[in-house]
Structure 1
Amino acid sequence: MDFGLSEEQRLIVETTRAFVENELYPHEAEVERTGVLRKELADELKQKAIASGLYAANMPESVGGAGLDTVTWLLYEKELGRANYALHWSCVGRPSNILLAGTDAQKEKYLYPCIRGEKSDCLAMTEPGAGSDLRGMKATAVEKGGDWVINGTKHFISHALEADFVILFVASGEEDTPRGKKKKITAFFVDKGHPGMTIREGYRNVSHRGYTNAIIEFDDCRLPADAILGEVHKGFEVANTWLGATRLQVAATCLGRAERALGHAIEYAAQRQQFGQQIGKFQGVSFKLADMATELKAADLLTFEAGWKFDQGTVTDQDMAMAKLKATEMLAFVADEAIQIHGGMGLMDDLPLERIWRDARVERIWEGTSEIQRHIISRALLRPHGA
């Protein structure tokens, strides 16, 4: 693995960071204080992102994206992660790569408009009684007369209020396994406004202000067979094939926020004086900085090693779980220590630290909790020993 950046990678990092600092940072205070990302502002920034070549950069060149390899994509995500989440996610769109699994007709209807910035998607998996246990979902799809009838509720569905369509995962049957019955899952496309689907505002969230979640209810929602993404009962296969790298995306955005928090802490420790000297000279502060930098470096290496292995075709679930676990828990540590170094000012919204501290909390929950990541890692360690 070459740890140096190519000229193209350096250019992408510089371009993305400049966009984040010049176009997104100035609007953070408004979004944080109002809890709303205005549609007019989102549309304006989206057009700037498209003009800068940063929109849909996660997609292959063959469908109109930037065609970034995984390591370069993670460098790009790391820079975007420095900003308020609503701003960088809603305005610098990265359509879900699960759209690449669609038929030609589905790509024309959903994928290409997302890449052009004309539509946006959301994924609906989580339910009130089934979070990490997707096999426990109760929302169902029953085939009737060639169509599929959907009933049930999804919640914690990110940006569903703004999305133009939903990529829905529901139980479509059961199969017998040595451990008992297991639900089969099918994925569907559902357009906003489709009869039988209702989208309601979700919950007020301490993390990521302006980035909304929603509750989606299905009441005899009838979908045609051509709304199926992938194959009937093969929703897990589609998700596992196309969504695995989302854990690395979470890790990369955490790295960006942690770097920003550490930068503020270093600057403050070098400038703030107490008892006649810079506070950075006190061991109580200097050791904090050393630990923060070390933890950040470790998370960075785990994340980009996993990204490199992804491109080589050798990445494992354990690799991605380790990266996600380390990066999300590191961010919580770095954000907390950065506030401690600043004292009371660290909790004031004049600085981004209190936001980074709040935002860090959800990262250990979504895209698989820290406990789930530890389960994946420990299972991989024990499996060769028959345990």
Structure 2
Amino acid sequence: MLFEPTDEQRMIVDTVREFVRNELCPHENEVERLDEVSAELATQIRQKALASGLYAANMPAELGGGGLDAVSMTLVERELGYTGYALQSLVARPSNILLACEGKQRDAYLIPTVRGERVDCLAMTEPGAGSDVRSMRTRAVRDGDDYVLNGDKHFISHADVADYVILFAATEPRVITAFLVDLDTPGLTVRPGPACVSHRGYHTSELFFSDCRIPAWQRLGEEGAGFDLMGTWLGATRLSVAANCVGRGRRVLDLALEWAAQRQQFGQPIGRFQGVSFPLADLATELDAAELLTFRAAAALDRGTMTDQQVAMAKLYASETLGRLTDQAVQVFGGMGLMSELPVERFWRDARLERIWDGTSEIQRHIIARSLLRPLGA
């Protein structure tokens, strides 16, 4: 399948690319040095993203979002991938799980989030339940017109700046239900998580629920429907990760090629040595393949035919390719590749996370293998 963007999609790419280069990239070194995005800078970027129409581009137009289809949104994600998550996350793409909001949930959570008035985060992972989400122990027990929440969550991205959490909890053993919980609810404590070497300035937190009581109207969807909602989100976010990896890979490849063309050793550019040029040729080919897999999945999503296998292949291959590419870029740069003076070591560190979050590479391989073997009865 050949993918050729429309004129409108090219305009979208140009708009996002210009925004990323002018409004986000200039702050990368500061964020890396301080390991945070200041409140003032976050507000400034968020306001500019809203003014430019890039904020909540993934949400329906009738709700005030950009109303972009999956292919267009994947192009956006590819361009945002040029920079790190701490900055690109300020150009918010609210969780598509929020589209399940009904009644007053829409006014309390969905609409304000699309408008940039509230910020969401999502809590699924627990210390004892990572890939095996059905084994989560955080419990939600119905008590009259309320639910009482007890349990712990960790590795919760963006909780340090969010207003509320989309929480997944067990209402029965291995039966998952989703809830909308304001982070200032009594009985909920948010603490900083361990420091991570990847994506400085984009932090994870730990959430502790101790007899945290919320009204039943804050349950999102039907009781027991949380696993299906989770699956909807995982498909979309894995596609986003794949696109981000492709975008960051393009940047790293450009840096490596420029260095290989300029760096002189033994009287000639190091790019003339096959030990340098051939690995980059292989990785350029792999990056194109990763992009094609990603847009194949996005086009299938627009048609309503995307399979778990397609998005798993995209996420697996794009994240693994980025890992190989950033490692080779460090090798091309030699000692300078590990110095903080250049961005290569940052991309190398950041790339390592992509093979873990939103479904590890092993989980993606499991999904692909299961899809291949199921028709054979295995």
Which TM-score tier does this pair reach, normalised by the shorter chain?
over 0.9
Q: Does 1:118 align with 2:109?
A: no
- Runs of at least 4 residues off by over 4 Å: none
1:349 equivalent among 318, 340, 345: 340
Aligned counterpart, 2:11: 11
2:181 equivalent among 172, 184, 190: 190
Per-residue Cα deviation, 1:99-152 (whole angstroms, up to 9, x for no partner) = 111103111111111111111000011000000101110110111123111100
Partners of 2:97 and 2:201 in 1: CA distance: 25
Partners of 1:235 and 1:357 in 2: CA distance: 35
Partners of 2:235 and 2:100 in 1: CA distance: 14
| Structure 1 residue 277 displacement after superposition | 1.3
2:213 equivalent among 208, 212, 222: 222
SS in 2 for 1:245: helix
Q: Does 1:236 align with 2:235?
A: no
Q: Does 1:317 align with 2:308?
A: yes
SS in 2 for 1:244: helix
| TM-score scaled by length of structure 1 | 0.96
- The amino acid that maps onto 1:41 is L
| Structure 1 residue 268 displacement after superposition | 1.0
1:264 equivalent among 255, 259, 264: 255
Partners of 2:215 and 2:238 in 1: CA distance: 32
SS in 1 for 2:148: strand
Is the CA contact 2:3–2:295 (under 8 Å) kept in the aligned structure 1? no
Partners of 1:241 and 1:366 in 2: CA distance: 16
| Structure 1 residue 348 displacement after superposition | 1.6
Unaligned segments of structure 2, at least 5 residues: none
| Structure 1 residue 243 displacement after superposition | 3.9
Is the CA contact 1:98–1:243 (under 8 Å) kept in the aligned structure 2? no
Is the CA contact 1:97–1:243 (under 8 Å) kept in the aligned structure 2? no
Q: Does 1:21 align with 2:12?
A: no
Is the CA contact 2:74–2:240 (under 8 Å) kept in the aligned structure 1? yes
| Structure 1 residue 242 displacement after superposition | 4.2
| Structure 1 residue 350 displacement after superposition | 2.4
Partners of 2:266 and 2:228 in 1: CA distance: 62
| TM-score scaled by length of structure 2 | 0.98
**Alignment length, in residue pairs?**
378
Aligned counterpart, 1:149: 148
Aligned counterpart, 2:39: 39
Partners of 1:97 and 1:352 in 2: CA distance: 32
- The amino acid that maps onto 2:95 is S
Percent identical among aligned pairs is: 62
Per-residue Cα deviation, 1:271-316 (whole angstroms, up to 9, x for no partner) = 1111111111111111021011011011111001010111111110
Partners of 1:39 and 1:327 in 2: CA distance: 32
Per-residue Cα deviation, 1:229-248 (whole angstroms, up to 9, x for no partner) = 00011111222234421100
CA distance 1:83–1:65, change in 2 (3 Å): same
| Structure 1 residue 217 displacement after superposition | 0.4
Aligned counterpart, 1:80: 80
Q: Judge which range, 156-165 or 58-67, deviates more.
A: 58-67
Aligned counterpart, 1:286: 277
| Structure 1 residue 85 displacement after superposition | 1.2
Aligned counterpart, 1:296: 287
Partners of 1:93 and 1:238 in 2: CA distance: 20
| Structure 1 residue 81 displacement after superposition | 0.8
Partners of 2:338 and 2:52 in 1: CA distance: 34
Partners of 2:341 and 2:93 in 1: CA distance: 30
SS in 2 for 1:200: strand
